[in-house]
Amino acid sequence: MQLGNKVAWFGTSGKGSFGKVRLKHRELFFGKAEEQASMQTVEKAYSTLQLTIGWLRHAEAQKLKDAIQLYFKSGASAIPRIQPILELVQAGMTNGKLSLKTDNTSTSRFVNQFGVEADDVPYIEGYVRNGANGSKGDIHVTRDYIMNNRFQAVRTFIHEATHRFANTDDFGEQGYMHADGSDFRAPGITAEQCLNNADSYAYFCMAMGYR
């Protein structure tokens, strides 16, 4: 089955700068609004990540400690675990292999994370497909978020980027957070699991670096 992936953005320069972003059309031409929204999503994700990494230098800051407690169930001693993950994502976004793909509806037939068509799943925020040898595919974010919900588009992008570039996991309802980031959807995730949980990183970044 051909997915409805219509646009992809690629970062083009390395060496720590985000660089130019290039649009690639497939199958369906997206208008200026979609182009702009896709680009703004990626740029906002990058600035969110940068600001969050900057915060990690301020281990004494209460705002940082509170966020680490909420999203990682840990104290400031977890910073050396959190920082390398975020830096892997930052590096991934600047090494020329960045891509964002979306589709033309939010409820089209999607595939789940195992590459299996899942038309009984009405709504998927985003995904990366697992490739050979542990590699990960392109970052997908639903068009509905890209066009209508910048916060969730950026959060989903960062979530998927941690899968792609830092090999994070999901832990089901125990690992996914409520949309407002106030708490996990179900209790039970451990601190150790949080430190490898994609949504913990995504909402942590949104709390610390999203402007």
By beta-carbon proximity to Zn ion, the closer residue of 78 and 198 is 198
Please tell me whether residue 170 binds Zn ion under the rule CB under 5 A: yes
177 CB-contact burial (10 Å; exposed 0-12 / middle 13-18 / buried 19+): buried
Q: What is the closest distance, in whole angstroms, from the C-beta atom of residue 150 to Zn ion in the complex?
A: 19
Q: What is the closest distance, in whole angstroms, from the C-beta atom of residue 17 to Zn ion in the complex?
A: 28
Q: What is the closest distance, in whole angstroms, from the C-beta atom of residue 57 to Zn ion in the complex?
A: 28
**Could you give the C-alpha distances from 88 to 63, 100, 120, in angstroms and in order?**
23, 17, 34
For 66-133, the DSSP string reads HHHHHHHS--GGGHHHHHHHHHHHHHHHHSS---EEE-S-SSS--B-TTS-B-TT-----EE--B-GG
Please tell me whether residue 198 binds Zn ion under the rule CB under 5 A: yes
End-to-end CA gap in the chain: 38
By beta-carbon proximity to Zn ion, the closer residue of 107 and 112 is 112
Stretches 16-24, 80-88, 168-176, 177-185: which one binds Zn ion (CB under 5 A)? 168-176
Q: What is the closest distance, in whole angstroms, from the C-beta atom of residue 198 to Zn ion in the complex?
A: 4
Count the site residues for Zn ion by CB under 5 A.
2
Residues that bind Zn ion (CB under 5 A): 170, 198
